[in-house]
């Protein structure tokens, strides 16, 4: 989590790599493709269609290499849902950094979004959010943490209790690559938060590539065991020097959501776990 800067709209913002534009593009493509389904939950007497972002950031970013100003993920997502004629009925946001969350909330309110701020770390805020949702509604969560450890498995566990939930998840591949030995050998590490129980299933007396793949596959299996199956299609986001940064994948309970993601991600040859 970097230092906040002054935004072009007078509110705090943050600097990001150029790859953030690609990430937000895939997010918005999914929201746009799924708009027809979302309309079925919108309107008087309907259960509602909600957007959930427990790592919302300030909602405005400057691309580090170019100086270009872009919307943060939650602001871009709201605009896309609104402009597509199927606006989310509630937008739940959280961020451990209060200034970031309040900045995002201010930007969303200026755009007419029905935003609800939830205080606290992601694990606690998601539990609160789930408790406030209509159990018969349609729910979408964007899980975009700043590192692997922040993607606590309890977040996905809590969201999986919802009857209709799609999750677009950012899995930090750089964290799976760097510090592998310390994560694998320490008594407690980011791996334990990300994929609790992995030590019983992954033999660390193997090559580093195989350990990474097995930890990631174990995580996918545990997510699937919750009834929210991770997509076979995964989008690998790379940096300016083509270095792998993170995977984007969808976890959902219904086949239609996976079909939407396959179209939104337009993946071909990206599903291989190539570390």
245 neighbors 22 (Cβ within 8 angstroms): no
Measuring CA to CA, which residue among 213, 260, 250 is closest to residue 228? 250
At residue 2, the pLDDT reads: 73
Say yes or no: domain 4-172+228-265 is CATH 3.40.50.150. yes
At residue 1, the pLDDT reads: 67
127 neighbors 96 (Cβ within 8 angstroms): no
Which residue ranges make up each domain of the chain?
4-172+228-265
At residue 173, the pLDDT reads: 86
Which distant-in-sequence residues (6+ apart) come within 8 Å of 158 by Cβ? Answer: 123, 126, 127, 130
Global pTM reads: 0.94
Measured CA to CA, the distance from residue 142 to residue 201 in angstroms comes to: 28
pLDDT band at 275 (very low <50, low <70, confident <90, very high): very low
Over residues 14-68, the pLDDT tens digits come to 999 999 999 999 999 999 999 999 999 999 999 999 999 999 999 999 999 999 9
4 vs 239, more confident: 4
Residue 30's H or E segment, with its range, is helix 19-33
18 neighbors 8 (Cβ within 8 angstroms): no
């Amino acid at each position: 989590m970097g230092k906040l800067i002054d935004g072009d709209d007078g509110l705090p913002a943050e600097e990001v790599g150029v790859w953030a534009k690609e990430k937000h593009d895939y997010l918005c493509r999914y929201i746009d493709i799924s708009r027809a389904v979302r309309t079925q939950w919108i309107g008087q007497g309907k259960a509602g269609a909600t957007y959930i972002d427990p790592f919302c950031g300030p909602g405005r970013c400057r691309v580090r290499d170019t100086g270009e100003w872009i919307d943060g993920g939650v602001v871009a997502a709201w605009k896309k849902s609104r402009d597509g004629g199927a606006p989310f009925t509630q937008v739940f946001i959280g961020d451990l950094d209060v200034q970031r969350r309040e900045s995002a909330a201010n930007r969303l309110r200026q755009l007419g979004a029905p935003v609800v701020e939830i205080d606290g770390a992601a694990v606690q805020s998601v539990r609160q959010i789930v408790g406030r949702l209509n159990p018969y509604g349609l729910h979408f969560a964007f899980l975009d943490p700043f590192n692997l450890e922040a993607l606590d498995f309890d977040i996905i566990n809590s969201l999986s209790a919802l009857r209709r939930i799609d999750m677009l998840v950012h899995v930090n591949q750089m964290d799976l690559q760097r510090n592998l030995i310390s994560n694998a050998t320490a008594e407690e590490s980011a791996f334990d938060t990300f994929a609790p129980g992995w030590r019983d299933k992954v033999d660390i007396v193997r090559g580093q590539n195989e350990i990474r793949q097995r930890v990631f596959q174990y995580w996918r299996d545990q997510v699937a065991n919750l009834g929210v199956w991770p997509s076979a299609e995964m989008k690998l986001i790379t940096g300016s020097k083509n270095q792998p940064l993170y995977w984007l994948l969808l976890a959902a309970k219904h086949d239609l959501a996976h079909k939407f993601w396959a179209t939104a991600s337009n993946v071909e040859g990206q599903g291989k776990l190539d570390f």
